[in-house]
Chains A and B, each alone.
Chain A
């Protein structure tokens, strides 16, 4: 049982990396990015493509992809998604849904439907013995550390920096923020840029930990979405905890039957929606 819980925490920490970007984009501009999961898969395939020509370790490729990921996100928001924002949430959902289809089919054309993975070398098979016959994979532990670090960094950025203040201000009242001289379209672009850098990192780690195929996106989006809703919109730590809960519950399900894990996750998600529709850690004001 202890092992199941620990494995669940490790799985959940990867979901947290999927969910942080979604939480950021929704928090700053109320934009539900339906292509979120497909962008994770796109990040993984970008790393896979690079790995075929460069003999680098996947972690180095992941680090190198952060900058293009950031730039891609900035351009995506500035030149495509900003035009869809408004009181009506529908245009942005339709456009990102279209983007999701474009990414899936482009990847299918380029890489076929076969699942692929990134060879993490020794990191992929090493494990750490933590007594009582329980061994945890080194890679999942590394993912937990990265996920913790990203959550802490994003929360600090949001709470303590001038950029975080600008994120919160445009989220509260875009018109008044612009009256103060902020350019909301640039602030939005920076939010999506940071989200896409996180997405790229999450994609590379997903590719190292398991396999990815072009059609995985919608399921990854669902996990990220469930983590955000379970955690509530209050903070990135809420999203992190929501993701851990989802991971643990899925792992418990997998423990009973390999087909039950994802289903258990959905049940807990629905239960939270019924009992605490604003999530476990809602925004207080």
Chain B
């Protein structure tokens, strides 16, 4: 097994007035694709937000590339190479497709990803680069959101519900792009509602339940029964 890139130990976080995470132990290895599943309110999104600095957590609870990064500002974390495709895409509506992608490159980390590389990965975006991002279809908007995150040349890409509200064929198209993304040595964490998609594309899988890890293991080795028991609780 390759080196541990991201590690949380006993991660506790609040979201608004409510406690959302109650001690998450999590590991992501270099070059790995890990899926997080769980019911609504299980703390999946809060967990990704805690990793990227959008939710404040104690410094020593998130470790990334031999450094404690918990509670750093999002800009400091993205400059270290950890970024997120946020839930609901959250493209900038006043910006064109290309401007959205350029915003993603604001941190100016060196690396393989550029507009040219992205347009090769998602050719449709090149044709629509001058359009306001919100005029694209849902699937194309999701490509922009993923592309925007890639433009920061991350080492770790966190994807929050990228298949939500998309047609199955579009979901397949987006996940088919994943090998090209991980081929660059990038590690990926996906939060996914669809358990079978999560199991198919990931190497390891965590199931969250009410802010705790209910199940963790090799995606292909876990059985349906184990997953549904962890998903719905006892």
Contacts and interface: CB of A to CB of B under 8 A. Distances in A.
A187 to B, nearest CB: 11
Contacts of A168: 92, 94-95, 99
A116 to B, nearest CB: 42
Contacts of B84: 179
Given A165-B99, A175-B54, A182 B106 contact: yes
Interface string B86-107: 1000101111000100111011
B95 A181 contact: no
Given A178-B73, A182-B106, A285 B94 contact: yes
B12 to A, nearest CB: 22
A33 B40 CA distance: 41
B90 A173 contact: yes
A172 B73 contact: no
B102 A165 contact: yes
A95 interface: no
Interface in B102-117: 102-104, 106-107
A172 B102 CA distance: 15
Interface in A128-183: 162, 165-166, 168-169, 171-173, 175-183
Contact of B75 (A166, A169, A182): A182
A158 to B, nearest CB: 10
B78 A172 contact: no
A237 to B, nearest CB: 16
Which of A168, A172, A176 gathers the greatest number of chain B CB atoms within 10 Å?
Answer: A176
Contacts of A285: 93-94, 132, 134
B86 A180 contact: no
B54 A180 contact: no
A169 B105 CA distance: 13
Nearest to B105: A180
Which of A165, A173, A176, A179 gathers the greatest number of chain B CB atoms within 10 Å?
Answer: A179
A285 to B, nearest CB: 5
Contacts of B86: 176, 179
B211 interface: no
A181 B90 CA distance: 15
Contacts of B132: 285
Nearest to A176: B90
A73 B92 CA distance: 26
Given A169-B103, A285-B134, A178 B74 contact: yes
Contacts of B73: 178
B152 interface: yes
B93 A179 contact: no
B152 A165 contact: no
A165 B103 contact: yes
A167 to B, nearest CB: 9
Given A179-B75, A179-B84, 7 more contacts: A169-B92, A178-B75, A179-B78, A180-B78, A181-B75, A285-B132, A285-B134
6 contacts: A168-B94, A171-B94, A172-B92, A179-B54, A180-B104, A285-B134
Interface of A: 162, 165-166, 168-169, 171-173, 175-183, 285
